[in-house]
């Protein structure tokens, strides 16, 4: 079949890395879910336990409808960041709510695999689990 795959590396908060193959057209959120093995009911025993768990907890609370920011990822190389489509206003608004926002932050549900992104590395922010982080007060709108 003609499905084209690219390589993406997810880097967890402890620096552990997971290389995955992502079909062109799939969002990074979906790709993460697909590679999380099964999200429910499975005994995790890989060294990627914390990475997977962290995705499970943080990812895709709104399932890609730009209503959460739990899918926040950090593009590790500016070169790749610059290859992404510009974020829509809705994405920027959600990113404003993300903990640990960086210059190369994006929402994983809005980053769609395309050939130019082959080799991209995405860091999972260390403290992005939810809004209950100590001392975090969401910006008023
Ligand atoms: Fe909610 Fe991406 S999954 S904004």
* Residue 105 β-bridge partners: 74
Q: List the structure tokens of 81.
A: 């960041």
pLDDT band at 55 (very low <50, low <70, confident <90, very high): low
109 DSSP assignment: G
**CA 94, 98, 102, 105 torsion-angle sign:** negative
Q: What confidence score (pLDDT) does residue 61 get? A: 72
8 A C-beta contact, residue 116 and residue 25: no
Nearest CA to ligand 1 atom 4: 66
C-alpha span between 69 and 131 (Å, rounded): 10
Please work out whether the CB of residue 37 comes within 6 Å of at least one atom of ligand 1: no
Out of 55, 68, 87, 97, mutate this one to test ligand 1's pocket (max ligand atoms within 8 Å of CB): namely 68
What separation in Å is there between the alpha carbon of 91 and the centre of ligand 1? 9
pLDDT bucket at 59, cuts 50 / 70 / 90: low
Is there a contact between 26 and 38 (Cβ–Cβ < 8 Å)?
A: no
Using the predicted structure, report yes or no on whether residue 38 has a pLDDT greater than 60: no
ipTM: 0.98
Mean pLDDT of 109-122: 96
Q: Is the pLDDT of residue 75 over 90?
A: yes
How confident is the model at residue 46, as a pLDDT? 43
Contacts with 28 (C-beta within 8 Å, 6 or more apart), sequence order:
8, 22, 71, 73, 108, 109, 111, 112, 113, 122
- The best mutation among 39, 66, 92 to test binding of ligand 1, ranked by most ligand atoms within 8 Å of the C-beta, falls on 66
Count the neighbouring beta carbons within 10 Å of the beta carbon of residue 53: 14
Give yes or no for a contact between 36 and 78, defined as CB atoms under 8 angstroms apart: no
């Amino acid at each position: 079949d003609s499905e084209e795959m690219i390589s993406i590396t997810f880097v967890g908060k402890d620096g552990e890395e997971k290389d995955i193959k992502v079909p062109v057209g799939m969002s990074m959120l979906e790709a993460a879910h697909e590679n999380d093995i099964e999200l429910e009911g499975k005994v995790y025993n890989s060294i990627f336990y914390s990475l997977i768990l962290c995705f499970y907890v943080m990812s895709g609370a709104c399932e890609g409808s730009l209503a959460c920011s739990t899918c926040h990822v950090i593009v590790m190389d500016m070169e790749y960041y610059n290859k992404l489509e510009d974020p829509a206003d809705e994405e920027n608004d959600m990113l404003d709510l993300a903990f640990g926002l960086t210059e190369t932050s994006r929402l994983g549900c809005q980053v769609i695999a395309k050939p130019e992104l082959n080799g991209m590395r995405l860091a999972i922010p260390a403290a992005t689990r939810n809004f209950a982080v100590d001392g975090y007060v969401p910006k008023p709108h």
